[in-house]
Amino acid sequence: MLLQLTLLCLTVSAAIAERFPVEIAQFDAVATAQHAIRQDVDESYRLPTETVPSHYTINLWTEVHEGKVDFHGSVKIVLKVVETTDTITVHNRGLSITFAILERIEEDSFSIVEEPTWSLDVQRELLIFQFTSPLELGNYELTITYNGRLQTSTSTGFFRKLYREENNVQRYIASTQFQPTYARMAFPCYDEPSLKATFTVSITHHSSYNAVSNMPLDGEPVPDIENPDFVTTHFQPTQIMSTYLLAFAITNFENKKAANQQIHARPDAIEHTEFALQVGVDILYAFNVYTDISYYNYKPQIAQIAIPDWGTGAMENWGLVTYGEPVLLFDPTVNTYRTMTDIVTIIGHEYAHQWFGNLVTANWWQYIWLNEGFATLYGYLGAHLAYPEDNYLSLFQPHYVLPTLRSDSSDSTRPMNWNAATPAEISALFDGVAYGKAGCILNMFRVVLGENSWRAGIKKYLQSRALATATPDDLYTGLQEGLSDDLSTLPEGSTVKETMESWTTAAGYPVLNVRRNYLNEDVLISQGRFFADRVSTNDHVWYIPYNFAHEGNASFELNSFDWLTTRAARLTIDVEPEQWLLFNRQQFGFYRVNYDTRNWRLLTDALIASSASFHPQNRAQLIDDAFYLARANQLDFSVVLEMMFALRNDHEYLPWAAGNNVLTYLYNKLRGTDNYEPFTLYVNELIEEIYHTLEIVTVDENESLQQKYIKQTISWWACKIGTADCLTKTKETLQEAVRGNVIVHPDVSSIVYCYGAHSATDQEFVWLYQRMFNSKNPAERTLLIDAMGCSQQNNQLTAFLTTSIGSGVGVQVNYYDSERTRVIQAVYSGSRTGVDALIEFLNDWADEVIYRLGQPVFNNAIAAIASRTNTPDELSRLKELFDTVQSLAPVAVIEAALATVQANFDWHGSLEGLIVAEFLKIFFNGNKI
């Protein structure tokens, strides 16, 4: 109780006695696309084609400085009637229209047509203006005045956020997120990407605040005639663009400048924007050179702004890029190399959009991969171009290729080209297919076509469609022209369109099956769609680019390619029977490769004998392919477990990134069971040699980015399996930090704080909490929240969980809403001790959790507990929780949780589970490989 009171007394802001909404999840680049395979869409959601816009003049009035959510607005839409009609239809969501008038434009004169009536199709979000007689063809201006409300429960449309200043005063700000269909929440508009126009924005706000938008100011803010405490900020007209790229923010932020770039953040965080500002300068320059199309040909400046409590999202608004604070603010004294990597690659992603999405926009949402796929790839390529010494492009494999191969292997995944009509359907398209898969496919063709031809084709694509919209055919045309007369890189007789469409129109991806005839030099290759849970036939034929290396010619250069354009083919390869054969050098191709049993054995033996004989990306590929092929019952799982022994002598991050995924899977299956101890010995065998080469609680200034990644991976596993040296060093390092009240080097802080918290005294735990509480850096706060979830002390975890709901009279907290949910996640993710603490907490506070954090948070907590339930005793505790909470847990949630637990139990009796158990038994008894 003393610890709980200590934590609660440290907090300083009033508890908010309301239901806390769950923050909208940011687009997940590697999320599984959960779509039924269908293509019918309701075209009635699309706007009629009789009118098209050309310019918007938008005036807004807000009192957000006082936290007020009501705002007023007017919009003048210059439009053209291209077909006779007696209605004008635009989009509107949640805005209350107060007045409308239509004027005819003839040369420079305006004449009133009429004040139309209007109606709203709420389901389709269509605002329909009805005129008494048909409108003649020509130009008009439609003026609409309206009232609206800033969003407070979502971060979409025109929304309000708050932050706390040093003196704990709450400050409110307003910002926007219009992609994909949210501009209609701020002003009535033609909210479809192909209906581009120019925009002139003016915003009336309190004089203590300032406003920013896509364009520079048009003069100084003008005092408001009706209220001297307010001013109106006018902005220059924009370039022609889609509605979803318009942006503005009203804040009390400060800014920094460099070249033609600016960056905006709250006053107590502006000093932490220097890094992101310089990254923006460097990456924009790299893209200007790479595309040979200067950004400044179309925009006079670019600004970035850090939005508080906006998670890790970002949005590429043309000229005003918005970010959640964790991916823009960087304090080198507390932020890790991972935060730095996120900032660099996310700025790369958003700046790539200035060309791919802003300059050239996907014609309709079904082609959103034209925007997001390029930005995903060029987020890493742009970072690599700007900072080649850090080799950011190599991280594309563990961050996107491997995760996307995992997520795109279900029968519910969609093709890259996929139509949508309703706002919900459109939002669902921003998934792992649009981001991860599209980025991987584009990278594959970048490699195959060759960098010079690819860049030439991209330049033609961008130039031909500049300020317009595009379909995949436009991209194919540009790339075809970029090849010029050199068509040797394509399958014989094929075009870029035919080749790429074999990938963009099909769901999933192929597995390339390789079967050797060891009596001669024949090799049979065949293709079929890869499914994560079964072997299946498939009618689709991909045009698969391939190459290979073998023991007699172990070259992994990306200098030659052939194509499989049929179901199967016979090759003749000069490789000796006792030598290994490997396809897909550097895993450039987006597919898996399966071999006959003998070749898998040859590859495994060679990897274990000398992993350095293979390219790091191929070492990662082999582990990942073997693992998922085994899980799909296409390979014996013992091959995976044996191949993992190659990691014993591997000091590269990429193979360990793949191996880490395998170990995490096995840990989740085996923790708490009889096979857990053999598993820990197995992990120790893999990490022991490399662990002793690492200084896990200190950082050498000469460590490379990749070395930092591998050090964290190895040290996490060392501490997770209870290595005494790791636990002792992290504990002592935390104790030293507490005694001296000093920070731990950020690049080792996650491991030190987490495993230091394992056995932390109450004083040490409170120290961690107080650091989090006092921190104004969102990434550091998240790291510390996660670390406190690692505690093994029930009383500490209970007190920590209590702060998430601010329970009790007079209790005060200073969390953002999203951080409250993060506390719950940190505790159940920390260990089984945390899971048990959460169960006890929910037994007492389930109703408060639902009230404060929302039903989805409670439901997700139940699902997380179930996924971590491996034994009958743990199941009993879960069932006792269900008995306690009763109807607070929906029946469907309980049924899903029990099904998850049963699947965990069933795994041990599956072929995979039995193979793992037998392997670990043999290993435990001393028969090591």
- Closest by Cα among 251, 11, 1 to 770: 11
Q: What count of other Cβ atoms lies within 10 Å of the Cβ of residue 858?
A: 23
Contact 127/90 with Cβ under 8 angstroms? yes
The two structure tokens encoding residue 28: 């997940």
Contact 715/756 with Cβ under 8 angstroms? no
Cα separation, 360 vs 525, whole angstroms: 39
Packing angle, helices 274-291 and 369-386, rounded to 10: 110
Residue tagged active-site, from 23, 50, 192, 350: 350
The two structure tokens encoding residue 265: 């953040």
**Count of alpha carbons within 13 Å of 53, Cβ hemisphere only?**
29
Cα separation, 388 vs 215, whole angstroms: 32
Packing angle, helices 891-907 and 872-885, rounded to 10: 180
Contact 796/767 with Cβ under 8 angstroms? no
Cα–Cα–Cα angle for 726, 730, 733, nearest 5°? 140
Label each residue of 714-734 as H, E or C.
HHHHHHHCCCHHHHHHHHHHH
Can you tell me which residue has the tokens 């109450």? Answer: 762
E strand map for 39-135: 51-62, 70-81, 85-91, 96-106, 109-114, 117-121, 126-135
First-to-final CA distance of the chain: 51
350 given a catalytic annotation: yes
Starting from the edge strand earliest in sequence, which strands make up the sheet with 522-529, in order?
A: 568-572, 522-529, 510-516, 592-595
φ and ψ at residue 524, rounded to 5 degrees:
-95, 125
Cα separation, 572 vs 807, whole angstroms: 72
Using the CB atoms, write b or e for 805-841: b if 16+ within 10 Å: bbbeeebbbbbbbbbbbbbbbbbbebbbbbbbbbbbb
Cα separation, 397 vs 512, whole angstroms: 19
Q: What is the DSSP letter of 672?
A: T
Contact 104/92 with Cβ under 8 angstroms? no
Question: What residues act catalytically?
Answer: 350
